Amino acid sequence: MEKIAENKTRKGLRITLCILYLVQLMLCTFPYMQGEASDGNFYAYTVFDMLSYLGGDIPDTVAGASFQSYIIYYLVFLVIPIIGFFFCLFDKERNIKNIVSFFCSLAGIVSILLIVNYTISLGSVCALLLYLLSSSLSAISMLLRLSKN
């Protein structure tokens, strides 16, 4: 790809995308899924809670068996923001950061809708909204790079 020096607008968008990906990592500590256990109590799991059940038994829940099959996929919620952050941080002159950021945002949206789907909670709703915002910002940044002004 052709290297073009950053102007103020593209630099601001790149830094904003970096911050959005850091916030995405922070949202992994918020409840991502919720539901009701068989004893009538409600539960809410963060991404780190789900990853802590990787080698052990998940608590008795209504959908416990299906959660166990999806536990390994919760690594995606950590990997996607890390990839997007490092591409936005280190790629200052090329358009690869915008392309990777756009596809990371789409992958984040699809993963939330497919993995968390019906048990969506506060963290996953906020992550969805931020992924929508970052995908639109990366599309705007791609268009700004094409205009070269």
Instruction: Output the pLDDT for position 37.
Output: 64
Quick: pLDDT tens for 84-96.
888 888 877 777 8
Instruction: Output the pLDDT for position 94.
Output: 76
0.85 exceeded by pTM:
no
What is d(CA 96, CA 1) in angstroms, rounded to the nearest whole number? 8
For residue 135, give both structure tokens: 């995908």
Scan for tokens 């103020």, then name that residue: 8
Tell me the pLDDT of the chain averaged across its residues. Answer: 78
Q: Which amino acid is at 122?
A: L
pLDDT higher at 64 or 99: 99
